[in-house]
Amino acid sequence: MPNITISIDDNLLKSGRQYAEKHQTSVNALIRNLLEQTVRNDSTQWVEECFALMDRANVHLKGKRWKREDLYDV
């Protein structure tokens, strides 16, 4: 995998390292993932991915219909 060099503000890099450590990853991985998401995803791909995940969940509601107010019941 080729390497690239980028310039980042010192404070941004410090914050990025803290974020990466908190999420058990690296700044390199954060930048790679952001770039990948930016160039590979079009504006509707996330919707298709959501529907694919719902299809894979294979949940059967047996005719149950949800109403908006049901979302607020705990």
Model confidence pLDDT, tens digit, residues 14-65: 999 999 999 999 999 999 988 887 777 666 777 788 888 888 887 777 777 8
Q: What is the pLDDT of residue 43?
A: 65
- Alpha-carbon gap, residue 50 to 14, rounded angstroms: 33
Extents of the domains making up the chain? 10-72
Q: What is the pLDDT of residue 45?
A: 76
Q: What is the pLDDT of residue 42?
A: 67
Q: What is the pLDDT of residue 74?
A: 59
CA distances from 13 to 7, 9, 24, 61, 73 (A): 9, 6, 16, 47, 43
Q: What is the pLDDT of residue 9?
A: 94
Tokens of 66: 């949800």
Q: pTM value?
A: 0.52
